Copies of this chain bind each other. A is one copy, B any other.
């Protein structure tokens, strides 16, 4: 009989590591295991619309994993921790099918702690300008 136990993540950092591992492996079950179950989860892929809820988010990852192989080098640039929630600011340097993306991606990841341990509530990722590392500003709010 297969085990149906779910991973319990002990910290926001553990969820984050599992998220990027799942992304690198293109593993849809591992990817969906990091998300909160009893909350409305939200995901914005770079250039994409805002997706609400498990089904829409799962479908988006299935589509991404079926069409390309991603390699993501991620760096935590800052964070804010509360007892029951955490916000992480991550810089993602992405290669798609071996080709480096033109610009890094800035992700805001929000985690919450529930009876099931820590889980991801939000992933909001958007492309930085190509000269992002030079610190240029763009004026349109």
Oligomeric state, in number of copies?
2
Does A30 have its Cβ within 8 Å of any Cβ on chain B? no
Contact A48/B87 with A39-B80, A40-B78 known, Cβ cut-off 8 Å: no
**Chain A residues with a Cβ under 8 A of chain B:** 23, 39-40, 42, 44-52, 60, 63-64, 67-68, 70, 72, 77-78, 80, 82-85, 87, 89, 91, 94, 96, 101, 105-106, 108, 110, 112, 121-122, 124-129, 132, 135-141
A sample of 25 inter-chain contacts (CB < 8 A) reads A42-B78, A44-B106, A44-B108, A44-B126, A45-B140, A45-B141, A46-B140, A46-B141, A47-B129, A50-B77, A52-B77, A63-B139, A67-B139, A68-B139, A68-B140, A80-B121, A80-B122, A82-B84, A82-B85, A82-B112, A94-B141, A105-B141, A108-B124, A124-B124, A126-B126
